[in-house]
Structure 1
Amino acid sequence: MNKLVSIITPNYNSEKFISQTINSVLNQTYKNWEMIIVDDVSNDDSVEIIESYILKNNRIKLFKLSKNSGAAIARNKAISLAKGNFIAFLDSDDLWLPKKLEQQLKFMISNNYNISYTSYEIINENGISKNKIIHCKEKLDYKRMLYSNEIGCLTAMYNSDVLGKVFMPEIRKRQDYGLWLKLLKTESYAFGLPKVLAKYRDQSQSMSNNKVEMLKWNWNLYKNVEKKSYFRSFYYTLFNVINKLLK
Protein backbone atom coordinates (compact mmCIF):
# COMPACT_ATOMS: atom_id res chain seq x y z
CA MET A 1 0.00 0.00 0.00
CA ASN A 2 1.93 2.99 -1.29
CA LYS A 3 -0.81 5.32 -2.52
CA LEU A 4 -0.24 9.07 -2.27
CA VAL A 5 -2.86 10.91 -0.20
CA SER A 6 -3.43 14.61 -0.86
CA ILE A 7 -4.63 16.40 2.28
CA ILE A 8 -6.77 19.46 1.54
CA THR A 9 -6.54 22.24 4.16
CA PRO A 10 -7.98 25.75 3.81
CA ASN A 11 -6.47 28.31 6.16
CA TYR A 12 -7.86 31.61 7.39
CA ASN A 13 -6.48 33.24 10.55
CA SER A 14 -5.76 29.92 12.25
CA GLU A 15 -2.56 30.87 14.06
CA LYS A 16 -3.92 29.47 17.32
CA PHE A 17 -4.48 25.96 15.94
CA ILE A 18 -2.55 25.40 12.70
CA SER A 19 0.55 23.99 14.41
CA GLN A 20 -1.52 21.33 16.16
CA THR A 21 -3.24 20.47 12.89
CA ILE A 22 0.02 20.13 10.96
CA ASN A 23 1.60 18.11 13.78
CA SER A 24 -1.32 15.68 13.68
CA VAL A 25 -0.46 15.05 10.02
CA LEU A 26 3.27 14.76 10.68
CA ASN A 27 2.47 12.17 13.36
CA GLN A 28 0.61 9.90 10.94
CA THR A 29 1.87 6.33 10.85
CA TYR A 30 1.20 6.39 7.09
CA LYS A 31 3.86 8.59 5.53
CA ASN A 32 3.03 8.86 1.81
CA TRP A 33 1.05 12.08 1.84
CA GLU A 34 1.19 15.69 0.71
CA MET A 35 -0.53 18.45 2.66
CA ILE A 36 -1.78 21.29 0.46
CA ILE A 37 -2.68 24.36 2.49
CA VAL A 38 -4.42 27.23 0.71
CA ASP A 39 -4.43 30.50 2.61
CA ASP A 40 -7.47 32.73 2.13
CA VAL A 41 -5.66 36.05 2.75
CA SER A 42 -5.07 35.65 6.49
CA ASN A 43 -4.08 38.73 8.48
CA ASP A 44 -2.60 36.90 11.46
CA ASP A 45 0.65 34.93 11.82
CA SER A 46 -0.68 31.62 10.49
CA VAL A 47 1.14 31.90 7.13
CA GLU A 48 4.46 32.44 8.89
CA ILE A 49 3.81 29.39 11.06
CA ILE A 50 3.01 27.28 7.99
CA GLU A 51 6.12 28.50 6.20
CA SER A 52 8.26 27.47 9.18
CA TYR A 53 6.98 23.90 8.76
CA ILE A 54 7.60 23.95 5.00
CA LEU A 55 11.28 24.69 5.63
CA LYS A 56 11.54 21.39 7.51
CA ASN A 57 9.18 19.19 5.45
CA ASN A 58 8.65 19.46 1.70
CA ARG A 59 5.47 17.37 1.85
CA ILE A 60 3.72 20.48 3.17
CA LYS A 61 2.83 22.99 0.45
CA LEU A 62 1.32 26.46 0.67
CA PHE A 63 -0.64 28.43 -1.90
CA LYS A 64 -1.93 31.96 -1.23
CA LEU A 65 -5.13 33.29 -2.75
CA SER A 66 -4.97 36.88 -4.01
CA LYS A 67 -8.30 37.84 -2.43
CA ASN A 68 -10.48 36.48 0.35
CA SER A 69 -12.76 33.99 -1.38
CA GLY A 70 -14.07 31.51 1.19
CA ALA A 71 -13.36 27.90 2.08
CA ALA A 72 -14.91 26.37 -1.05
CA ILE A 73 -12.59 28.20 -3.43
CA ALA A 74 -9.61 27.55 -1.15
CA ARG A 75 -10.38 23.83 -1.01
CA ASN A 76 -11.01 23.63 -4.75
CA LYS A 77 -7.67 25.31 -5.44
CA ALA A 78 -6.00 22.69 -3.26
CA ILE A 79 -7.83 19.88 -5.07
CA SER A 80 -6.71 21.29 -8.43
CA LEU A 81 -3.08 21.16 -7.21
CA ALA A 82 -3.38 17.69 -5.70
CA LYS A 83 -1.30 14.84 -7.09
CA GLY A 84 -2.64 12.10 -4.84
CA ASN A 85 -4.38 8.84 -5.63
CA PHE A 86 -6.72 9.68 -2.76
CA ILE A 87 -8.00 13.05 -1.55
CA ALA A 88 -8.68 13.70 2.14
CA PHE A 89 -9.86 16.77 4.03
CA LEU A 90 -8.61 18.38 7.23
CA ASP A 91 -9.53 21.90 8.32
CA SER A 92 -6.94 24.14 9.94
CA ASP A 93 -8.31 23.76 13.48
CA ASP A 94 -9.10 20.04 13.48
CA LEU A 95 -6.91 17.04 14.34
CA TRP A 96 -6.26 13.52 13.14
CA LEU A 97 -5.28 10.63 15.37
CA PRO A 98 -1.99 8.97 14.35
CA LYS A 99 -3.45 5.92 12.57
CA LYS A 100 -6.15 7.80 10.66
CA LEU A 101 -4.64 7.55 7.19
CA GLU A 102 -3.23 4.06 7.66
CA GLN A 103 -6.49 2.53 8.86
CA GLN A 104 -8.77 4.40 6.48
CA LEU A 105 -6.68 3.59 3.41
CA LYS A 106 -6.56 -0.09 4.37
CA PHE A 107 -10.35 -0.03 4.86
CA MET A 108 -10.92 1.48 1.41
CA ILE A 109 -8.39 -0.54 -0.56
CA SER A 110 -9.20 -3.93 0.98
CA ASN A 111 -12.93 -3.42 0.40
CA ASN A 112 -12.66 -1.59 -2.93
CA TYR A 113 -14.52 1.44 -1.54
CA ASN A 114 -14.20 4.78 -3.34
CA ILE A 115 -15.67 7.10 -0.67
CA SER A 116 -15.25 6.69 3.08
CA TYR A 117 -15.54 8.52 6.38
CA THR A 118 -15.00 7.68 10.06
CA SER A 119 -16.30 8.41 13.53
CA TYR A 120 -14.84 11.41 15.35
CA GLU A 121 -14.70 13.13 18.72
CA ILE A 122 -15.84 16.68 19.55
CA ILE A 123 -13.35 18.87 21.43
CA ASN A 124 -13.71 22.45 22.61
CA GLU A 125 -11.65 25.45 21.53
CA ASN A 126 -8.94 24.52 24.02
CA GLY A 127 -8.68 20.95 22.77
CA ILE A 128 -10.51 19.42 25.75
CA SER A 129 -12.93 16.60 25.01
CA LYS A 130 -16.63 17.46 25.22
CA ASN A 131 -17.29 13.75 25.87
CA LYS A 132 -19.20 13.47 22.63
CA ILE A 133 -18.50 11.01 19.84
CA ILE A 134 -20.13 11.25 16.42
CA HIS A 135 -20.52 7.63 15.42
CA CYS A 136 -20.51 7.10 11.68
CA LYS A 137 -23.25 5.26 9.84
CA GLU A 138 -22.31 1.96 8.18
CA LYS A 139 -23.02 3.37 4.71
CA LEU A 140 -24.80 6.30 3.11
CA ASP A 141 -26.38 6.93 -0.26
CA TYR A 142 -27.58 10.11 -1.98
CA LYS A 143 -31.19 9.87 -0.80
CA ARG A 144 -30.26 9.36 2.84
CA MET A 145 -27.70 12.16 2.75
CA LEU A 146 -30.34 14.64 1.60
CA TYR A 147 -31.95 14.39 5.03
CA SER A 148 -28.78 15.15 6.97
CA ASN A 149 -25.06 15.59 6.40
CA GLU A 150 -23.73 12.48 8.14
CA ILE A 151 -20.13 12.83 6.92
CA GLY A 152 -17.64 14.82 8.97
CA CYS A 153 -15.42 16.76 6.55
CA LEU A 154 -12.31 16.04 8.65
CA THR A 155 -12.89 12.30 8.18
CA ALA A 156 -13.79 12.14 4.49
CA MET A 157 -11.65 10.60 1.77
CA TYR A 158 -12.30 9.71 -1.86
CA ASN A 159 -10.42 7.77 -4.52
CA SER A 160 -9.40 10.30 -7.15
CA ASP A 161 -7.85 7.61 -9.37
CA VAL A 162 -11.32 6.12 -9.86
CA LEU A 163 -13.62 9.12 -9.43
CA GLY A 164 -11.35 11.83 -10.81
CA LYS A 165 -10.93 15.20 -9.12
CA VAL A 166 -14.36 16.17 -7.84
CA PHE A 167 -14.76 19.76 -6.67
CA MET A 168 -16.98 21.47 -4.12
CA PRO A 169 -19.78 23.84 -5.13
CA GLU A 170 -18.47 27.37 -4.71
CA ILE A 171 -20.82 28.49 -1.97
CA ARG A 172 -19.74 30.14 1.28
CA LYS A 173 -21.02 27.40 3.59
CA ARG A 174 -22.12 23.75 3.35
CA GLN A 175 -19.79 23.24 0.41
CA ASP A 176 -18.47 19.99 1.90
CA TYR A 177 -22.04 18.68 2.13
CA GLY A 178 -22.47 19.64 -1.51
CA LEU A 179 -19.39 17.62 -2.44
CA TRP A 180 -20.64 14.47 -0.73
CA LEU A 181 -23.97 14.81 -2.55
CA LYS A 182 -22.15 15.30 -5.85
CA LEU A 183 -20.00 12.21 -5.28
CA LEU A 184 -23.04 10.12 -4.35
CA LYS A 185 -24.77 10.93 -7.61
CA THR A 186 -22.20 8.77 -9.39
CA GLU A 187 -21.12 6.40 -6.60
CA SER A 188 -23.82 4.25 -4.99
CA TYR A 189 -22.52 4.44 -1.42
CA ALA A 190 -20.04 6.07 0.91
CA PHE A 191 -18.83 3.69 3.62
CA GLY A 192 -18.16 4.37 7.29
CA LEU A 193 -15.20 3.06 9.26
CA PRO A 194 -16.51 2.80 12.85
CA LYS A 195 -13.38 4.03 14.58
CA VAL A 196 -12.71 7.42 16.18
CA LEU A 197 -9.82 8.69 14.04
CA ALA A 198 -10.21 12.47 14.24
CA LYS A 199 -11.08 15.34 16.55
CA TYR A 200 -13.41 18.16 15.53
CA ARG A 201 -12.86 21.48 17.26
CA ASP A 202 -16.24 23.01 18.09
CA GLN A 203 -16.00 26.80 17.92
CA SER A 204 -19.68 27.36 17.21
CA GLN A 205 -21.48 30.51 18.25
CA SER A 206 -24.86 30.57 19.96
CA MET A 207 -27.40 27.90 19.07
CA SER A 208 -29.88 30.51 17.78
CA ASN A 209 -27.33 31.94 15.36
CA ASN A 210 -26.38 28.45 14.19
CA LYS A 211 -29.99 27.56 13.48
CA VAL A 212 -30.52 30.65 11.36
CA GLU A 213 -27.31 30.04 9.43
CA MET A 214 -28.13 26.38 8.95
CA LEU A 215 -31.56 27.21 7.54
CA LYS A 216 -30.11 29.75 5.14
CA TRP A 217 -27.25 27.70 3.76
CA ASN A 218 -29.06 24.36 3.63
CA TRP A 219 -31.86 26.01 1.68
CA ASN A 220 -29.31 27.52 -0.71
CA LEU A 221 -27.66 24.13 -1.24
CA TYR A 222 -30.92 22.29 -1.97
CA LYS A 223 -32.52 24.97 -4.11
CA ASN A 224 -29.60 26.43 -6.05
CA VAL A 225 -27.04 23.61 -6.15
CA GLU A 226 -29.16 20.45 -6.02
CA LYS A 227 -31.96 22.15 -8.00
CA LYS A 228 -34.75 20.85 -5.79
CA SER A 229 -38.22 22.40 -5.86
CA TYR A 230 -39.25 24.98 -3.25
CA PHE A 231 -41.24 22.30 -1.43
CA ARG A 232 -38.42 19.73 -1.47
CA SER A 233 -35.85 22.35 -0.43
CA PHE A 234 -37.97 23.33 2.58
CA TYR A 235 -38.65 19.67 3.40
CA TYR A 236 -34.97 18.67 3.44
CA THR A 237 -33.93 21.84 5.25
CA LEU A 238 -36.44 21.12 8.01
CA PHE A 239 -35.16 17.56 8.40
CA ASN A 240 -31.57 18.80 8.59
CA VAL A 241 -32.41 21.19 11.41
CA ILE A 242 -34.32 18.50 13.33
CA ASN A 243 -31.47 16.00 12.94
CA LYS A 244 -28.92 18.59 14.06
CA LEU A 245 -30.92 19.41 17.19
CA LEU A 246 -31.34 15.75 18.08
CA LYS A 247 -27.58 15.02 17.99
Structure 2
Amino acid sequence: MNECMEIDKPLITIVMAVYEPNMQWLKEQLLSLEAQTYPNLELIIRDDCSPTVPFEQICECAATCIRSFPYEISRNERNVGSNQTFEWLTQQTRGEYIAYCDQDDVWLSEKIETLYQAVLSQNAVMSYCDMAVIDAKSDVIATSLRQIRPRLEYLTGSALMKSYFFRNCTAGCSMLMRADIAKQAVPFPKQTVADHWLAIWAAYSGSIAFVDKTMLKYRQHSRNQTGILSGVTDKESYCVKRILPLKERLNMLKERIDVQQDLQDFVQARIENRVLGIWKGRKFSSKEAGFEIIMNLLPEKLFQAIISRIRK
Protein backbone atom coordinates (compact mmCIF):
# COMPACT_ATOMS: atom_id res chain seq x y z
CA MET A 1 0.00 0.00 0.00
CA ASN A 2 1.12 3.56 -0.70
CA GLU A 3 1.90 5.99 2.10
CA CYS A 4 -1.23 7.44 3.71
CA MET A 5 -2.15 11.11 3.29
CA GLU A 6 -2.78 13.51 6.17
CA ILE A 7 -5.91 15.46 5.21
CA ASP A 8 -8.55 17.25 7.29
CA LYS A 9 -11.47 15.92 5.28
CA PRO A 10 -12.68 12.42 6.23
CA LEU A 11 -11.24 9.42 4.43
CA ILE A 12 -13.40 8.05 1.62
CA THR A 13 -12.77 4.48 0.48
CA ILE A 14 -13.44 3.61 -3.14
CA VAL A 15 -14.20 -0.10 -3.55
CA MET A 16 -13.98 -1.86 -6.90
CA ALA A 17 -14.93 -5.45 -7.71
CA VAL A 18 -13.09 -6.68 -10.81
CA TYR A 19 -13.87 -9.68 -12.99
CA GLU A 20 -12.47 -10.37 -16.46
CA PRO A 21 -11.90 -6.65 -17.04
CA ASN A 22 -11.40 -5.07 -20.43
CA MET A 23 -8.01 -3.57 -19.65
CA GLN A 24 -8.53 -0.40 -21.68
CA TRP A 25 -11.79 0.31 -19.87
CA LEU A 26 -10.21 -0.49 -16.52
CA LYS A 27 -7.41 1.94 -17.29
CA GLU A 28 -9.90 4.68 -18.19
CA GLN A 29 -11.78 4.10 -14.95
CA LEU A 30 -8.65 4.09 -12.79
CA LEU A 31 -7.37 7.27 -14.41
CA SER A 32 -10.72 8.94 -13.66
CA LEU A 33 -10.31 7.92 -10.01
CA GLU A 34 -6.79 9.32 -10.00
CA ALA A 35 -8.20 12.63 -11.28
CA GLN A 36 -10.72 13.06 -8.42
CA THR A 37 -10.61 16.47 -6.77
CA TYR A 38 -11.53 15.12 -3.33
CA PRO A 39 -8.22 15.05 -1.42
CA ASN A 40 -8.45 12.11 1.01
CA LEU A 41 -9.07 8.80 -0.74
CA GLU A 42 -8.08 5.17 -0.66
CA LEU A 43 -8.88 2.48 -3.23
CA ILE A 44 -9.45 -1.22 -2.57
CA ILE A 45 -9.67 -3.51 -5.60
CA ARG A 46 -10.74 -7.14 -5.34
CA ASP A 47 -10.46 -9.48 -8.33
CA ASP A 48 -13.16 -12.14 -8.30
CA CYS A 49 -10.82 -14.87 -9.56
CA SER A 50 -10.77 -13.79 -13.22
CA PRO A 51 -10.05 -16.93 -15.30
CA THR A 52 -8.27 -15.36 -18.30
CA VAL A 53 -7.05 -11.89 -17.24
CA PRO A 54 -3.83 -12.32 -15.21
CA PHE A 55 -3.96 -10.84 -11.72
CA GLU A 56 -0.50 -9.38 -12.33
CA GLN A 57 -1.87 -7.40 -15.26
CA ILE A 58 -4.54 -5.84 -13.06
CA CYS A 59 -1.88 -4.97 -10.46
CA GLU A 60 0.31 -3.34 -13.11
CA CYS A 61 -2.59 -1.27 -14.40
CA ALA A 62 -3.34 0.04 -10.93
CA ALA A 63 0.32 0.81 -10.27
CA THR A 64 0.49 2.79 -13.50
CA CYS A 65 -2.72 4.76 -12.97
CA ILE A 66 -3.01 5.36 -9.22
CA ARG A 67 -0.30 7.59 -7.77
CA SER A 68 -2.03 10.21 -5.62
CA PHE A 69 -3.62 8.09 -2.88
CA PRO A 70 -3.24 4.67 -1.20
CA TYR A 71 -4.51 1.55 -2.88
CA GLU A 72 -4.44 -2.19 -2.33
CA ILE A 73 -5.39 -5.17 -4.49
CA SER A 74 -6.40 -8.69 -3.55
CA ARG A 75 -7.81 -11.71 -5.33
CA ASN A 76 -10.59 -14.03 -4.23
CA GLU A 77 -9.58 -17.66 -3.85
CA ARG A 78 -12.61 -18.66 -5.91
CA ASN A 79 -15.25 -16.92 -7.97
CA VAL A 80 -18.08 -15.80 -5.67
CA GLY A 81 -19.87 -13.15 -7.74
CA SER A 82 -20.14 -9.40 -7.42
CA ASN A 83 -22.54 -9.40 -4.44
CA GLN A 84 -20.21 -11.38 -2.18
CA THR A 85 -17.17 -9.48 -3.44
CA PHE A 86 -18.74 -6.10 -2.70
CA GLU A 87 -19.83 -7.39 0.72
CA TRP A 88 -16.24 -8.32 1.54
CA LEU A 89 -15.01 -5.00 0.19
CA THR A 90 -17.51 -3.15 2.37
CA GLN A 91 -16.13 -4.92 5.42
CA GLN A 92 -12.53 -4.08 4.41
CA THR A 93 -12.99 -0.31 4.29
CA ARG A 94 -11.36 2.08 6.71
CA GLY A 95 -12.92 5.33 5.50
CA GLU A 96 -15.90 7.17 6.96
CA TYR A 97 -17.63 6.92 3.58
CA ILE A 98 -17.67 4.32 0.81
CA ALA A 99 -17.84 5.03 -2.92
CA TYR A 100 -18.81 1.92 -4.89
CA CYS A 101 -17.08 1.60 -8.24
CA ASP A 102 -17.51 -0.54 -11.36
CA GLN A 103 -14.54 -1.58 -13.48
CA ASP A 104 -15.64 -0.06 -16.77
CA ASP A 105 -17.17 3.39 -16.17
CA VAL A 106 -15.56 6.83 -16.20
CA TRP A 107 -16.05 9.28 -13.33
CA LEU A 108 -16.04 13.04 -13.68
CA SER A 109 -13.23 14.53 -11.61
CA GLU A 110 -15.54 16.29 -9.13
CA LYS A 111 -17.84 13.29 -8.58
CA ILE A 112 -16.77 12.32 -5.07
CA GLU A 113 -16.41 15.92 -3.89
CA THR A 114 -19.91 16.75 -5.16
CA LEU A 115 -21.50 13.70 -3.53
CA TYR A 116 -19.67 14.39 -0.27
CA GLN A 117 -20.94 17.97 -0.18
CA ALA A 118 -24.48 16.70 -0.84
CA VAL A 119 -24.27 14.34 2.14
CA LEU A 120 -23.10 17.19 4.37
CA SER A 121 -25.53 19.85 3.18
CA GLN A 122 -28.58 17.56 3.42
CA ASN A 123 -27.49 15.60 6.51
CA ALA A 124 -27.92 12.40 4.51
CA VAL A 125 -26.58 8.89 4.99
CA MET A 126 -26.23 8.37 1.24
CA SER A 127 -26.01 10.59 -1.82
CA TYR A 128 -26.15 9.63 -5.48
CA CYS A 129 -26.24 11.24 -8.89
CA ASP A 130 -27.47 10.94 -12.44
CA MET A 131 -25.13 9.59 -15.09
CA ALA A 132 -24.45 9.81 -18.79
CA VAL A 133 -24.32 6.60 -20.82
CA ILE A 134 -21.46 5.60 -23.10
CA ASP A 135 -20.98 2.65 -25.40
CA ALA A 136 -18.11 0.21 -25.80
CA LYS A 137 -16.19 2.84 -27.83
CA SER A 138 -16.66 5.47 -25.09
CA ASP A 139 -19.05 7.48 -27.29
CA VAL A 140 -21.87 9.19 -25.38
CA ILE A 141 -25.27 7.72 -26.29
CA ALA A 142 -27.28 9.57 -23.62
CA THR A 143 -26.49 12.61 -21.49
CA SER A 144 -28.77 11.30 -18.73
CA LEU A 145 -29.84 7.80 -17.76
CA ARG A 146 -33.43 9.08 -17.92
CA GLN A 147 -33.13 9.41 -21.68
CA ILE A 148 -32.88 5.65 -22.14
CA ARG A 149 -34.99 4.70 -19.09
CA PRO A 150 -38.00 7.02 -19.31
CA ARG A 151 -39.79 5.25 -16.43
CA LEU A 152 -36.90 6.02 -14.07
CA GLU A 153 -37.82 8.21 -11.10
CA TYR A 154 -35.01 9.40 -8.85
CA LEU A 155 -35.89 9.52 -5.14
CA THR A 156 -34.65 12.01 -2.57
CA GLY A 157 -35.52 12.83 1.04
CA SER A 158 -36.52 10.69 4.02
CA ALA A 159 -38.90 7.77 4.71
CA LEU A 160 -38.10 6.16 1.37
CA MET A 161 -37.46 2.57 2.49
CA LYS A 162 -40.75 1.17 1.19
CA SER A 163 -40.26 2.81 -2.20
CA TYR A 164 -36.71 1.49 -2.47
CA PHE A 165 -37.76 -1.98 -1.33
CA PHE A 166 -39.73 -2.58 -4.51
CA ARG A 167 -37.91 -0.43 -7.03
CA ASN A 168 -34.29 0.73 -7.12
CA CYS A 169 -33.26 4.00 -8.75
CA THR A 170 -29.72 4.18 -7.38
CA ALA A 171 -26.87 2.47 -9.19
CA GLY A 172 -23.96 1.45 -6.99
CA CYS A 173 -21.50 3.33 -9.17
CA SER A 174 -23.41 6.56 -8.51
CA MET A 175 -23.59 6.38 -4.70
CA LEU A 176 -21.57 7.63 -1.76
CA MET A 177 -22.62 6.06 1.54
CA ARG A 178 -21.68 6.40 5.16
CA ALA A 179 -19.47 3.41 5.95
CA ASP A 180 -21.08 2.64 9.30
CA ILE A 181 -24.50 2.37 7.62
CA ALA A 182 -23.14 0.25 4.76
CA LYS A 183 -21.52 -2.18 7.19
CA GLN A 184 -24.82 -2.57 9.03
CA ALA A 185 -26.29 -3.84 5.74
CA VAL A 186 -23.97 -6.88 5.83
CA PRO A 187 -24.74 -9.64 4.97
CA PHE A 188 -26.25 -8.85 1.56
CA PRO A 189 -29.17 -11.00 0.34
CA LYS A 190 -27.98 -13.46 -2.30
CA GLN A 191 -30.88 -12.81 -4.67
CA THR A 192 -30.83 -9.02 -4.42
CA VAL A 193 -28.26 -6.92 -6.27
CA ALA A 194 -25.86 -5.37 -3.76
CA ASP A 195 -26.54 -1.74 -4.68
CA HIS A 196 -30.29 -2.26 -4.32
CA TRP A 197 -29.91 -3.72 -0.84
CA LEU A 198 -27.53 -0.92 0.19
CA ALA A 199 -30.04 1.67 -1.03
CA ILE A 200 -32.87 -0.03 0.91
CA TRP A 201 -30.78 -0.03 4.08
CA ALA A 202 -29.70 3.57 3.60
CA ALA A 203 -33.32 4.65 3.06
CA TYR A 204 -34.31 2.85 6.26
CA SER A 205 -31.40 4.40 8.19
CA GLY A 206 -31.80 8.04 7.21
CA SER A 207 -32.21 10.61 4.49
CA ILE A 208 -31.12 10.21 0.85
CA ALA A 209 -29.61 13.09 -1.15
CA PHE A 210 -29.82 13.21 -4.94
CA VAL A 211 -27.50 15.30 -7.11
CA ASP A 212 -29.29 16.09 -10.35
CA LYS A 213 -26.12 16.16 -12.40
CA THR A 214 -24.37 13.55 -14.54
CA MET A 215 -21.26 12.90 -12.49
CA LEU A 216 -20.07 9.77 -14.30
CA LYS A 217 -20.24 7.99 -17.62
CA TYR A 218 -21.89 4.61 -17.26
CA ARG A 219 -20.66 2.16 -19.88
CA GLN A 220 -23.40 0.07 -21.46
CA HIS A 221 -22.23 -3.08 -23.21
CA SER A 222 -23.16 -6.71 -23.74
CA ARG A 223 -21.56 -7.92 -20.48
CA ASN A 224 -23.34 -5.52 -18.11
CA GLN A 225 -24.89 -7.36 -15.17
CA THR A 226 -27.86 -5.06 -14.82
CA GLY A 227 -30.44 -3.54 -17.12
CA ILE A 228 -34.15 -3.16 -17.69
CA LEU A 229 -35.79 -6.53 -16.98
CA SER A 230 -32.40 -8.24 -17.24
CA GLY A 231 -32.83 -11.98 -17.71
CA VAL A 232 -36.61 -11.71 -18.21
CA THR A 233 -38.05 -13.28 -21.36
CA ASP A 234 -41.42 -14.72 -20.27
CA LYS A 235 -43.79 -14.96 -17.30
CA GLU A 236 -41.78 -17.67 -15.57
CA SER A 237 -38.49 -15.80 -15.78
CA TYR A 238 -40.24 -12.60 -14.63
CA CYS A 239 -41.35 -14.46 -11.51
CA VAL A 240 -37.87 -15.87 -10.88
CA LYS A 241 -36.02 -12.59 -11.48
CA ARG A 242 -38.44 -9.98 -10.15
CA ILE A 243 -40.87 -11.57 -7.69
CA LEU A 244 -39.17 -14.43 -5.85
CA PRO A 245 -36.24 -12.24 -4.73
CA LEU A 246 -38.80 -10.13 -2.85
CA LYS A 247 -39.28 -12.98 -0.39
CA GLU A 248 -35.60 -13.25 0.50
CA ARG A 249 -35.30 -9.47 0.66
CA LEU A 250 -38.29 -9.32 3.00
CA ASN A 251 -36.96 -12.12 5.21
CA MET A 252 -33.59 -10.39 5.52
CA LEU A 253 -35.31 -7.14 6.42
CA LYS A 254 -37.60 -8.78 8.99
CA GLU A 255 -34.55 -10.22 10.76
CA ARG A 256 -33.35 -6.67 11.46
CA ILE A 257 -36.38 -4.37 11.72
CA ASP A 258 -40.13 -4.47 12.27
CA VAL A 259 -41.79 -4.57 8.85
CA GLN A 260 -45.38 -3.39 8.57
CA GLN A 261 -47.94 -6.10 7.86
CA ASP A 262 -49.42 -4.38 4.80
CA LEU A 263 -46.02 -4.42 3.09
CA GLN A 264 -45.65 -8.12 3.93
CA ASP A 265 -49.14 -8.80 2.54
CA PHE A 266 -48.29 -7.08 -0.74
CA VAL A 267 -45.13 -9.13 -1.14
CA GLN A 268 -47.01 -12.35 -0.46
CA ALA A 269 -49.76 -11.42 -2.92
CA ARG A 270 -47.19 -10.89 -5.65
CA ILE A 271 -45.48 -14.19 -4.85
CA GLU A 272 -48.81 -16.03 -4.94
CA ASN A 273 -49.99 -14.09 -8.00
CA ARG A 274 -53.21 -12.90 -6.29
CA VAL A 275 -54.64 -10.04 -8.34
CA LEU A 276 -56.83 -8.61 -5.56
CA GLY A 277 -53.95 -8.59 -3.09
CA ILE A 278 -51.68 -6.93 -5.64
CA TRP A 279 -54.34 -4.28 -6.27
CA LYS A 280 -54.75 -3.61 -2.54
CA GLY A 281 -51.00 -3.07 -2.12
CA ARG A 282 -50.50 -0.87 -5.18
CA LYS A 283 -49.60 2.14 -2.98
CA PHE A 284 -46.20 0.55 -2.38
CA SER A 285 -45.32 0.09 -6.04
CA SER A 286 -48.08 1.22 -8.37
CA LYS A 287 -46.23 0.60 -11.63
CA GLU A 288 -45.22 -2.95 -10.74
CA ALA A 289 -48.70 -3.69 -9.38
CA GLY A 290 -50.34 -2.49 -12.57
CA PHE A 291 -47.85 -4.33 -14.73
CA GLU A 292 -48.33 -7.63 -12.89
CA ILE A 293 -52.12 -7.38 -12.96
CA ILE A 294 -52.00 -6.84 -16.72
CA MET A 295 -49.42 -9.63 -17.03
CA ASN A 296 -51.91 -12.06 -15.52
CA LEU A 297 -54.46 -11.20 -18.20
CA LEU A 298 -52.14 -11.40 -21.21
CA PRO A 299 -51.47 -14.53 -23.27
CA GLU A 300 -47.90 -15.79 -22.87
CA LYS A 301 -46.80 -14.89 -26.42
CA LEU A 302 -48.13 -11.35 -26.18
CA PHE A 303 -46.39 -10.91 -22.83
CA GLN A 304 -43.10 -12.11 -24.35
CA ALA A 305 -43.46 -9.62 -27.19
CA ILE A 306 -44.07 -6.75 -24.76
CA ILE A 307 -41.07 -7.73 -22.64
CA SER A 308 -38.88 -7.85 -25.75
CA ARG A 309 -40.01 -4.36 -26.74
CA ILE A 310 -39.45 -2.92 -23.25
CA ARG A 311 -35.92 -4.32 -23.08
CA LYS A 312 -35.04 -2.63 -26.37
TM-score tier, shorter chain, comes to: 0.7 to 0.9
Query: For 2:204, what is the secondary structure of its paired residue?
Result: coil
Deviations 1:2-55 (A, max 9, x none): 111111111100133211111110011113111111111002336333311454
Match of 2:209 in 1: 191
> Which letter does structure 2 place at the counterpart of 1:72?
N
Greater radius of gyration (CA): 2
Q: Aligned to 1:77, which of 73, 83, 88?
A: 88
Residues 1:176 and 2:172 aligned together: no
Whole-angstrom CA distance in 2 between matches of 1:8 and 1:138: 24
Contact 1:218 1:237 in 2 (8 A): no
How far off its partner does 1:240 sit? 9.0
Residues 1:134 and 2:142 aligned together: no
How far off its partner does 1:147 sit? 3.8
Residues 1:4 and 2:11 aligned together: yes
How far off its partner does 1:132 sit? 4.6
> Which letter does structure 2 place at the counterpart of 1:139?
T
5+ unaligned residues in a row in structure 2: which ranges?
A: 1-7, 147-152, 252-263, 279-284, 292-306
Match of 1:211 in 2: 232
Match of 1:230 in 2: 268
Q: Aligned to 1:38, which of 46, 60, 65?
A: 46
Deviations 1:193-213 (A, max 9, x none): 111101111124797864346
Number of residues paired by the alignment?
Answer: 244
Q: Which has the higher contact order (CA 8 A, sep 6+)?
A: 1
Q: 1:75 to 1:208 in 2, by over 3 A?
A: closer
Residues 1:23 and 2:31 aligned together: yes
Q: 1:164 to 1:209 in 2, by over 3 A?
A: closer
Whole-angstrom CA distance in 2 between matches of 1:69 and 1:76: 11
Deviations 1:91-113 (A, max 9, x none): 11122111101111112123322
Whole-angstrom CA distance in 2 between matches of 1:198 and 1:170: 27
How far off its partner does 1:155 sit? 0.7
Query: For 1:83, what is the secondary structure of its paired residue?
Result: coil
| Structure with the largest fraction of strand | 1
* 226-235 vs 191-200, which moves further: 226-235
Q: TM-score, normalised by structure 1?
A: 0.85
RMSD over equivalenced CA pairs, Å: 3.1
Whole-angstrom CA distance in 2 between matches of 1:183 and 1:15: 31
5+ unaligned residues in a row in structure 1: which ranges?
A: none
How far off its partner does 1:218 sit? 2.9
What percentage of aligned pairs have identical amino acids? Answer: 19
Match of 2:288 in 1: 239
Q: TM-score, normalised by structure 2?
A: 0.68
